[in-house]
Amino acid sequence: MLLSPWIAGAVALVAWWVSTGAILWAVRRADLRGRHVALTLGTLPILGLGFWGLWATRGVLDPAEVYLAAASALAVWGWIELAFLTGMITGPNTRPARPGVPGWERFIRAWGTVAYHEMTLTAALIAIIALTHDAANTFGLWIFAVLYAARISAKLNLYLGVRKVNTEFIPSSLRHLPSHFGAARMNWLFPTSVTALTFAVACWLERLIAAPAPAQEVGFALLAALTALALLEHWFMVVPLPDEKLWRWMLPDKQEEGTDAVR
C-alpha cells in the first residue's frame, strides 16, 4: 500500500502537519515553563538520528529506504527549526528594529536576527551533500534542499513585506523578530518565489510519471507533495486564510504561563 504515489503524498501531508504541530507544542510548553535549553538539548538525539538515517539509507534505493531517508531529512530539519524557535540558534541581534533606519542597515539588522540559524541550515545541507555524495538514494538530500530553498524564500518575502504575517506562534525568545518584517500587500520577490516553486512541483510530477520503479515513484511523490506544501505556505502569506487554526487547537493556552510559573 505504501508503494502508491497517492499514499506517499498523503504521508508527506500528515508528516508536515504532525511535525509542525509537535514542534509548536513542544516550544509552547518550554516557553511557558522556561525550559528552552532543556528542550533543545534533550531533543538533540533527533538530530543525530537524522544524520545517521541519511547515512544508513544512502546506498539502498527501495521504497522503505526512501521513506526512511525522507524521515531522516525531516528530523534534521525539525531539530534545527526547534532550536531556532527556542532561541538557542538565532543570531547576534536580539533587539527590535529601530524605525527609520536606512535600507542597508535594516537588512543587516534583520540578517543579524537569523544569522546563526541560516549558517546552521547551510552547514547541515553541506553535511548531507557530503554524506550522500555518489549515493544511490539521494531523496533525503533533495527533500532537505527543497525545504532549505523554500525557507530562505519565505524569510526574504517576510523581510520585504507580505499581506499576512502570522505571529501567533512566535515564542517569547523571538518577540523581536516581527519588528524586522516588512509591511506590504505584495513585494517584487513573491511572484518569482511562487513561480519557481510551481515549476519545481511540475518537475517532480513529471519525474513521478516517468519513474522507472516504485522507489522513484515514492521519492518523487514525497518531493512533489512537500514542495506543494511549501508553495501553499507562501500563498498563506498573501491570502487571508486562517491557517493558524490547523495547529492552534492542539497548543497549550498562553494563559497557563502564570500557573506554570507558580509551580
User: CA 102 to CA 64: how far, in whole Å?
Assistant: 52
Rounded Cα–Cα distance for residues 64 and 155 (Å): 33
pLDDT at 256: 52
Largest CA distance in the chain: 60
pLDDT in tens, 90-116: 999 999 998 888 888 999 999 999 999
Rounded-to-integer distance, Cα 10 and Cα 21, Å: 16
Closest CA to 86 of 178, 170, 155: 170
Torsion of CA 123, 191, 74, 139, to 10 degrees: -90
Question: What digits encode the pLDDT tens for the residues 117-134?
Answer: 999 999 999 999 999 999
pLDDT per position as a tens digit, 161-213: 999 888 889 998 899 999 999 888 889 999 999 999 999 999 999 999 999 99
Does residue 162 sit in helix, strand or coil? Answer: strand
Residue 145 and residue 232: Cα distance in Å, rounded? 17
